[in-house]
Amino acid sequence: MTAFQIALLAGTATVSAGLQWAISSRLHRKRLERACARHAEAQETSIRFMQQAKKQIAQLQQELATARQQTTRLTRAQEREAARDVLRQSMDESPPARPLRPVDGFADTLPSLQFPADSLLGTH
């Protein structure tokens, strides 16, 4: 082999290696750009889903707070109504403490015998 042939072979090998490098680097760059685009799209989608989930969580928390308030109001109203019913029932069942009308038709004007007159004045 002559020096010219060796130089020609070395030049051809260098050009071939450079061309192969350029082609493979271009292919790799395109693949990398597609992968970056897919990643960016996936990231945007996940950000949208996360924002939507946050909105739904906030809405559900608000609905839960409203439902708890309504439940508390209903429970309190039911408790009051039950207490009123018990009171009405006990008032209906028990006899009056004193007659509503005097027996003889006249108002009771006598002093009460529950407290003696001496104890009111402080003298014994």
Q: What is the pLDDT of residue 20?
A: 96
Residues of the chain with confidence (pLDDT) below 50 = 124
Q: What is the pLDDT of residue 100?
A: 65
- Amino acid found at 25: S
Q: What is the pLDDT of residue 50?
A: 97
Q: What is the pLDDT of residue 66?
A: 93
CA separation for the pair 61, 67 (Å, rounded): 10
Find out whether 124 and 118 touch, Cβ atoms under 8 Å.
Answer: yes
Find out whether 51 and 58 touch, Cβ atoms under 8 Å.
Answer: no
CA separation for the pair 16, 19 (Å, rounded): 5
Q: What is the pLDDT of residue 1?
A: 80
Eight-state DSSP code of residue 62 = H
Find out whether 47 and 40 touch, Cβ atoms under 8 Å.
Answer: no
Eight-state DSSP code of residue 101 = S
Q: What is the pLDDT of residue 9?
A: 92
CA separation for the pair 21, 15 (Å, rounded): 10
CA separation for the pair 77, 87 (Å, rounded): 15
Q: What is the pLDDT of residue 12?
A: 94
